[in-house]
């Protein structure tokens, strides 16, 4: 390669890195600024200083103890993990017969399930609220959990992964006398770990940051989830922006930590899901 071509290649590589660094600053900059404000014990929040002069964790401690974030964090954890568990189990169980068993109307059923993804939540939130109220689920964490216990997107994602698994495994299990549930639980489900991890991340993030439905169904402040607690904090203590930033940081941190540990499965799940439709 000639020196001129090598120079152009190096410039192109440097340009790519510059664009990536710019995108990194755009995406991670607001989060770092929020953490910086949360660590400030005093001074103006509008001072452009990423590292505070006298950083302190007192804002996090006050937000956690005084303003009820410990209870809100516990409530969000219960809701998020319960919804993730129900979605992983029910979506996988529903997707198995749609992907591997042939029965009349299977394609129509799958089409109807997918069609629900086109309905906005605002269109059915009032009937959903009335239904939950008649069932006695108003102002309860169960009322937050049950409406999100199964997602059409999760059924679609797991179904796509079932198509990538060789049918010889099922046939060998049937020859050995295994039933359909045993085939799903012992063979099919363990082979969908990347898809399950991707689905778990999607569902966890969606329910951890869910604001509208908990706001509608919950009334007692001791049952508030983190998004509601942050909204309450921002309304009551708008003059203390450090508390708001600390509360928002507490709310965002678990999502970042979860993605950090499961990103390998998340990327693998999305890649495998695109192999076959």
Q: Around 17, how many Cα atoms within 13 Å sit in the side-chain half-sphere?
A: 6
- Which of 36-45, 175-184, 253-262, 263-272 has the least mean pLDDT? 263-272
Q: Are residues 43 and 66 in the same domain?
A: no
Is the pLDDT score of 172 beyond 90? no
User: Cα dihedral sign for 106, 109, 110, 111?
Assistant: positive
CA distances from 121 to 130, 163, 270 (A): 14, 30, 25
Read off the pLDDT of residues 113-144 as tens digits, 9 standing for 90 and up.
999 999 999 899 999 999 999 999 999 999 99
Q: pTM of the entire structure?
A: 0.82
Q: Are residues 227 and 247 in the same domain?
A: yes
Number of independent structural domains in the chain: 2
Is the pLDDT score of 227 beyond 60? yes
Q: Are residues 266 and 135 in the same domain?
A: yes
Q: Are residues 96 and 35 in the same domain?
A: no
Please name which of 69, 35, 77, 38 lies closest in space to residue 233, comparing C-alpha atoms: 69
**Across the chain, which distance is largest between two alpha carbons, in Å?**
77
Containing domain of residue 1, as a range? 1-56
- Indicate the average pLDDT of the chain: 84
The residue that leads in pLDDT, 264 or 22, is: 22
Using the 3D structure, point to which of 41, 56, 71 is the last residue of a domain. 56
What is the pLDDT, as a whole number, of residue 277? 43
Q: Are residues 105 and 181 in the same domain?
A: yes
Read off the pLDDT of residues 62-85 as tens digits, 9 standing for 90 and up.
888 877 788 999 999 999 999 999
d(CA 21, CA 103) in angstroms, rounded, equals 52
């Amino acid at each position: 390669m000639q020196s001129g071509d090598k120079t152009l290649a190096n410039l192109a590589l440097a340009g790519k890195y510059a664009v990536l660094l710019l995108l990194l600053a755009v995406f991670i900059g607001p989060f770092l600024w929020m953490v910086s404000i949360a660590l400030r014990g005093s001074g103006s929040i509008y001072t452009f200083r990423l590292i505070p002069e006298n950083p302190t964790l007192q804002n996090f401690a006050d937000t956690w103890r005084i303003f009820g974030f410990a209870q809100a964090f516990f409530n969000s954890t219960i809701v998020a993990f319960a919804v993730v568990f129900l979605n992983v189990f029910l979506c996988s169980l529903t997707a198995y017969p749609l992907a591997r068993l042939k029965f009349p109307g299977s394609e129509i059923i799958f089409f109807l399930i997918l069609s629900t993804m086109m309905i906005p939540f605002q269109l059915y939130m009032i009937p959903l609220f009335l239904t939950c109220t008649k069932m006695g689920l108003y102002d309860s964490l169960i009322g937050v959990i049950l409406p999100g216990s199964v997602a059409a997107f999760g059924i679609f994602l797991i179904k796509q992964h079932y198509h990538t698994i060789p049918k010889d495994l099922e046939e060998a299990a049937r020859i050995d006398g295994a039933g359909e549930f045993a085939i799903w639980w012992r063979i099919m489900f363990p082979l969908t770990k990347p898809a399950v991890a991707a689905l778990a991340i999607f569902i966890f993030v969606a329910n951890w940051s869910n604001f509208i439905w908990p706001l509608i169904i919950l009334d007692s402040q001791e049952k508030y989830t983190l998004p509601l607690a942050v909204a309450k904090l921002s309304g009551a203590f708008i003059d203390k922006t450090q508390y708001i930033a600390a509360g928002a940081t507490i709310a965002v941190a678990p999502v970042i930590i979860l993605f950090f540990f499961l990103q390998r499965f998340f990327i693998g799940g999305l890649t495998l899901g695109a192999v076959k439709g």
